[in-house]
Amino acid sequence: MIIFSRRILRLIVVLSIFFLFSAFNTTSALAQINTINYNNASLEGRDFSNTDLKGVNFVAAEMRGTNFKNANLTNAMFTKGVMLKANLEGANLTGALVDRVTLDEANLRNTNFTGATLTRSRFFNADISGADFTDAIIDRYQVSLMCDRADGVNPVTGVSTRDSLGCR
């Protein structure tokens, strides 16, 4: 009788732990399901202006001419993307990952890149007037090219583009 009740007690403990673990894990699974993901998406010409896209993934997305004007892209992830002639004017990309992204001829006026990682990305002929790159990680070659045309002060952070890039 004692052996039988120990087995039942163990079974109850194991089932209780399983149900508790499942209850906590379900919340995490639901949070992941609700995450917006535009990986490998064709977003050419889409209008995301004034949209809250905090933490959204745009991995290998095609975003030529996409409008992100005044969008909240804090901690968003852009990797291996094409953003030719995209409009990011006034967007907030604080802490964003922008790795291997082509931003040629993009409108980056007054964009906030504070603390962003902008490695292996291109900014040829991009309008960076008033953009803030404070504490951003950018390839030296791109910084040297951007310093040639850096001007203006970011209206939100009050930091000059030249100072944020460390131009001399």
pLDDT tens string 136-146: 999 999 999 99
Q: Which helix (H) or strand (E) holds 142?
A: helix 140-147
Q: What pLDDT shows up at residue 33? A: 43
151-165 pLDDT per residue, tens? 999 999 999 999 999
* Sequence-separated contacts (24+) of 86-92 with Cβ below 8 Å: 87/49, 90/156, 92/156
Measured at the alpha carbon of residue 158, what is the angle toward residues 156 and 159, in degrees to the nearest 5? 120
pTM of the complete model: 0.79
Measured at the alpha carbon of residue 118, what is the angle toward residues 117 and 120, in degrees to the nearest 5? 125
Q: What single DSSP character describes residue 119?
A: T
Measured at the alpha carbon of residue 121, what is the angle toward residues 117 and 122, in degrees to the nearest 5? 140
Q: What pLDDT shows up at residue 25? A: 43
d(CA 55, CA 13): 38
108-152 pLDDT per residue, tens? 999 999 999 999 999 999 999 999 999 999 999 999 999 999 999
48-99 pLDDT per residue, tens? 999 999 999 999 999 999 999 999 999 999 999 999 999 999 999 999 999 9
Q: Report strand pairing: 57-59 vs 77-79.
A: parallel
d(CA 68, CA 59): 16
Worst-scoring range by mean pLDDT, 11-15, 42-46, 157-161? 11-15
Q: What pLDDT shows up at residue 21? A: 47
Q: What pLDDT shows up at residue 144? A: 96
- Non-local (6+) Cβ contacts of 66 within 8 A are 43, 44, 45, 46, 47, 48, 83, 86, 87
The stretch 22-44 carries a mean pLDDT of 63
